[in-house]
Amino acid sequence: MSRVIALAGNPNCGKTTLFNRLTGSSQKVGNWPGVTIDRKEGRIKSIGAVLVDLPGIYSLSPYSPEEVVSRDFLLDSRPDAIINIVDATNMERNLYLTSQILDMGIPTVIALNMMDTVRKDGTVIDTEKLSKALGCRVVGISALKGEGMEELLEAVSSADEAPSPVRLSGPLEKSISEISENLRDKVPEEHLRWYSVKALERDVLAIERIGDSWNKISEIIEKLEKEEDEESDSLVASERYGSISDIVASSVKTKRTSGSYTTSDKIDRIVTHRWLGLPIFAGVMFLVYYISITTVGGWGTDWVNDVFFGEWAIPGAASWLEGMAVDPVLSAFIVDGLIAGVGAVLGFLPQMLVLFVLLVILEDSGYMARIAFVMDRVFRRFGLSGKSFIPILIGTGCGVPGIMASRTIESERDRRITAMTTTFIPCSAKLPIIALIAGALFGGSALVALASYFIGVLAILLSGIILKKWPSLSGTPSEFIMELPPYHVPGIATVIRSTFEKGWAFVRKAGTFILLACGIVWFLSAFDWSMSMVGDINDSMLADIGNAITWIFVPLGWGDEWQFSVGTITGLLAKENVVGTFGVLFGFSEVAESGDEIWPIIAAMLTPIAGFSFLVFNLLCAPCFAAIGAMRRELGTWKATGAAVLYQCLLAYAVSMVIFQIGSLLIYGTFGIWTVAAFATVALIAYILVSKEPFARYRHKTSEAAA
Ligand code: GDP
Ligand code: MG
């Protein structure tokens, strides 16, 4: 059996770079059981070992899923060795994790990364001394430049001795060894110190595993706390930091004279400036959008839509199928259903690839960390962290990459809330709906678009407050680590690899999930219940379904007209479909983007306030299937995804009803049972926003479901 090696380290210390370098292209990505955290595994061919990438973490405490996943893997799967990657430009913070890893008694090699930067700064690190102080091999490397790889691999393949742990002060060590005595036969011998220290910190998960010796241990801890007059966990933490800073002081010599600023510091003083930060950021994002959506990416997308699919793929496939004398039904299914549907999605690929390239560059250069830092000041007030802002921003182009971008958020709680709310922001596919309603009912006013974005942002911020009150999503936004990585020129390999990974995930989705959905919707719109093909879509199963559900939307003001229900349903496939569906339903086979042919018809069917309610519902309700699929990937289970979609639909319904009912009351003076319901809804939302624990009764249920 080949050796299993775990790769552990802080976020941003170069773990992915090293992982890619060591394993090349042999990578398997999966999930850790029970959580939506990537589990990457790859082979190091030269030494015949398997490398498992643990999530980036700052410590081995029992609080975040990332930390729990990492420690469970180290304790239960018992890798043969650990590579602990340490950012040499940030030793104090990184070695805090190291000191906890060393307690585990698993052979460990420290890969001291970013040595290229350290050298440039004129800092000298004595790895010999460091190695002695830490009690394990230390190898200086640069994952980016590929320096020190051979020495690292040699150290890893020969690592078979348990490291000697970082010692704490006399009284603490005494308590630790007393606890060890009580644990000796209860836990694996090699992990004895780790369990003892964790017990001393009153680590809940460690206590669970220790079982009945806890009472005795508890006495030992209380005795220590009385003597030292401090909580045991903060004692351990402060002594860890104390030992580490002694070690660092003795083995690292910095040249930098105090008071002088590095280039990074100087740039940061401008881009994270209290007042300048936001405008600079707005400028950068405008540029990103201009390039990826409007110009370069837009040209690519137009080409794919108009030329590739419009002129080649669809007509080509149609005539080929005709030439092969394929059954016309099957041929229509393939061309109008599958190719057209998948094509509508793949059409976004060029825009997305350009967007990904630019975003990876922004991220890799270190600028994204600054944006998150700037936005954090605003978002924190709404229970969101600054990192949630990036997915939302990307979501204005397309919700799918927006949701996927939530992956960059380290805390699972923030990631889930962000994945659930990102699609409230109007994506580019929703713009035609906005244009249609604005044109048909509001004289083309730009205020309709402005209001749409405003409502989107408001929905996100309010959802931040509401969702964090839900027991399984509660807690404060994840700590924002203030240390910002130094700027550097992004590596071409990283950019290409990340872009490719993201693009491929997108294509794969179009090829599976969306393909299936397209087939189903085409089928429903082309046949009636007796399974004969219909000439008029009004006779189709889809029309019947629209009629069957349309009463639901009566309180929103557009439920009398079944076409709007069908438009809403087909919008689930892709929001572009809403306008296209109206074109078909109202007898125009082709409609321009803005749909101005059908403006008069819509104007005759809906009042402006009903039209606005329809717009808002379509903006906020369940996103398209592609985005739901992306949400499923981030949330992990269909159950959680279903709950998120339900929340989105309920919120959409509530907001649209309030808009239509209270709007009608103000404009036309109409009053009825639904007006009362609208006011009740406002009161309910206000209660949820203000109340401390509005969902307290669900606490038990959800924590069970989470377990
Ligand atoms: P992870 O979050 O731990 O997976 O870190 P990444 O591998 O994504 O690296 C974070 C950043 O540090 C990236 O921008 C890398 O290009 C950069 N980086 C990684 N290793 C080195 C290195 O040895 N030297 C320098 N200068 N930068 C590095
Ligand atoms: Mg990484």
88-141 pLDDT tens trace: 988 888 999 999 999 999 999 999 999 998 888 888 889 999 999 999 999 999
Under 8 Å CB-to-CB from 154, ≥6 apart: which residues?
none
Ordered by start, the domain boundaries in the chain are 3-157, 170-250, 280-696
341 Cβ neighbours under 8 A, 6+ residues apart: 514, 515, 517, 518, 519, 521, 522, 573, 574
Is ligand 1 within 6 A of the CB of residue 143? yes
Mutate to test the pocket of ligand 1, among 12, 407, 497 (most ligand atoms within 8 A of CB): 12
C-alpha–C-alpha distance, residues 60 and 188, integer Å: 18
pLDDT of residue 658: 97
Instruction: Quick: pLDDT tens for 192-212.
Output: 999 999 999 888 888 888 777
Q: What is the pTM of this model?
A: 0.58
Q: Is the CB of 113 under 6 A from ligand 1?
A: yes
Q: Return the pLDDT at 704.
A: 43
At 702, list the tokens. 């959800």
Determine if ligand 1 sits within 6 Å of the CB of residue 69. no
Q: How far is the CA of 118 from the centre of ligand 1 (A)?
A: 13
Given this model, what pLDDT does residue 596 score? 60
Q: Report the alpha-carbon distance of residue 479 to residue 120 in Å, rounded.
A: 30
CA distance 191 to 26: 31
CA of residue 35 to ligand 2 center, whole Å: 17
Centre of ligand 2 to C-alpha 15, Å, is: 6
Does residue 325 come out as left (phi exceeding 0), alpha (psi in the -120 to 50 range) or beta? left
Phi, psi dihedral angles at 59 (to 5 degrees): -160, 180
Residue closest by Cα to atom 28 of ligand 1: 144
CA distances (Å), origin 275, targets 269, 278, 282, 532: 11, 7, 12, 65
Residues around the ion ligand 2 (C-beta < 5 A): 16
* Distance (Å) from CA 419 to ligand 1 centroid: 26
The answer, yes or no, to whether any atom of ligand 1 lies below 6 A from the CB of 134, is no
The strand pair at 49-53 and 38-44 is best described as antiparallel
Residues 6+ apart with CB under 8 A from 437: 448, 602, 611, 612, 614, 615
> Ligand 1, closest atom to CA 141?
23
CA of 256 to the centre of ligand 1 (A): 22
Q: What is the pLDDT of residue 53?
A: 93
Task: Assess contact for 455 and 620: CB atoms under 8 A.
Answer: yes
Q: Where are the alpha helices (DSSP H) in 442-596?
A: 447-467, 492-509, 515-526, 541-549, 562-573, 577-585
149 in contact with ligand 1, CB cutoff 6 A: no
**Which residue, judged by its Cα, is nearest atom 9 of ligand 1?**
14
3-state percent breakdown (helix, strand, coil) of the chain, nearest 5: 70, 5, 25
- Which residues of the chain fall below pLDDT 50? 258, 481-482, 589-594, 701-707
Distances (CA, A) of 616 to 345, 437, 452, 457, 646: 23, 10, 7, 13, 16
Residue nearest to ligand 1 atom 15, measured at CA: 14
Segments in 73-124 forming alpha helices (H): 91-102, 115-120
630 C-alpha to center of ligand 2: Å?
A: 20
Coil vs helix vs strand at 259: coil
The pLDDT value given to residue 9: 94
Nearest ligand 1 atom to the CA of 9 is 3
187 CB-near residues (< 8 Å, 6+ apart): 195, 209, 210
Residue nearest to atom 25 of ligand 1 (CA): 114
Is 408 close to ligand 1, i.e. is its CB under 6 Å away? no
Helix (H) or strand (E) holding 215: helix 214-228
487 lines ligand 1 (CB under 6 A): no
Centre of ligand 2 from the C-alpha of residue 487, in Å: 17
Q: Which ligand is nearest to the CA of 367?
A: 1
At the topology level, CATH places domain 3-157 in Rossmann fold (3.40.50)
Q: Ligand 1: which of 125, 144, 362, 365 to mutate, most ligand atoms within 8 Å of CB?
A: 144
Class (C level, CATH) for 170-250: mainly alpha
Q: Say which residue the tokens 């018809």 belong to.
A: 601
Gap between the Cα atoms of 352 and 402, Å rounded:
10
What is the whole-number distance in angstroms between the Cα of residue 371 and the centre of ligand 2?
A: 19
